[in-house]
Amino acid sequence: MVHKLAFIGFGVVGQGLAEILLEKKEALKQEEEFEAKIVAISDLMKGSIYQPDGLDIELVLKTLKETGNVEDYPQTAGLIKGWDSLMTIRESNADTIIEVSYTDVKTGQPAIDHCKTAFENGKNVVMTNKGPVALAYKELSEIADSHGVSWGFEGTVMSGTPALRMPIATLAGNDITEVRGILNGTTNYILTKMETDGVSYEEALMEAQALGYAEADPTSDVEGYDARYKIVILSNYVMKAPLTVEEVSCKGISSITLADIEEAKKEGKRWKLVAKARKEVAGVVASIAPEKVDLTDSLASISGATNAITYETDLLGSVTLSGAGAGKVETGFSLLIDLITIAREKHPVKL
């Protein structure tokens, strides 16, 4: 079966997935019996095209590189240009919507509306946008379930590193009592540079920005807001414990000084921005805050822009997973594994 895809948003992440599908087309077909056809792309800045029989993705990427607008794709029989995102979701023949639009993380829009529209029209969604999962997990899950469709969002927490899929699939049967991790690569890079190079917070931040780890406005990362959304997703999905963003106390790293770094060294400790969610009698208690962790702590050895997470379980004890938390290919892979998972659920691969 060919899986027909419509991209809502076609920036770095969307193009990353498109390139992976192009490069690994034959391997996916042979090894996973997975074959995908991109039928539509709708991007607010780059234009919109729909071809029911499938687009030539190599030509799409070439056109985009040359002109910056997918609507400059050569006109062919059946090609439609100019649909907005909601019309693309409703009217295209796509089975699955790749939701990678520019979304306001504070409201989750327009991605929340994209998800609702897709589910109500019997279409699966895979996405990397944190907002809808953190802000509307229960509502969107119920809508997807009621329409018999799938919703994948592996890339919302640690990019392609399976922070969501791994515990669900391989820690099944355990009671996960606590989740604790380094969920933001920007802040971890800054703290690592301060310790190893002896530079100030401001200098480390400038270097992170120069390398593309930090945005021009780094507030979401350095003040802990990005990690707060991720711990809410982990609580709701992995721990099966309802939690809202407002319930998570949040403090960032902008006040950490070199003196603080040196003091931690003398104590045999290291500063990390730690995201935590712990089950207590009254419910889940979660926080984002800088902590001095012992050098023997599994999170202490995580350096640079790498992410890591530890799951505390009743049967297996502590289980730690580390890996990339960002990147074009890595995040593109997170979408691919969601697509493969949906395909396996609907059409299991014969062994």
> Which residue among 46, 116, 230, 276 is the active-site one?
230
- Region at 256 (left for phi over 0; alpha for psi -120 to 50; beta for the rest): beta
Residue with tokens 């992976």: 20
Active site residue 230: yes
What is the rounded CA–CA span in Å between residue 331 and residue 19? 12
Of 136, 127, 178, 187, the residue nearest 157 (C-alpha): 127
The helix/strand/coil state of 277 is strand
| Side chain identity, residue 252 | G
What is the rounded CA–CA span in Å between residue 324 and residue 305? 8
Radius of gyration (C-alpha) of the chain in whole angstroms: 21
Distance (Å) of CA 166 to CA 142, 204, 277, 301: 23, 33, 17, 21
User: Do 341 and 153 meet the contact criterion of CB atoms below 8 Å apart?
Assistant: no
Tokens of 116: 């609702």
User: Do 165 and 321 meet the contact criterion of CB atoms below 8 Å apart?
Assistant: no
The helix/strand/coil state of 188 is helix
Tokens of 177: 């009592």
What is the rounded CA–CA span in Å between residue 187 and residue 272? 8
Enzyme catalytic residues: 230
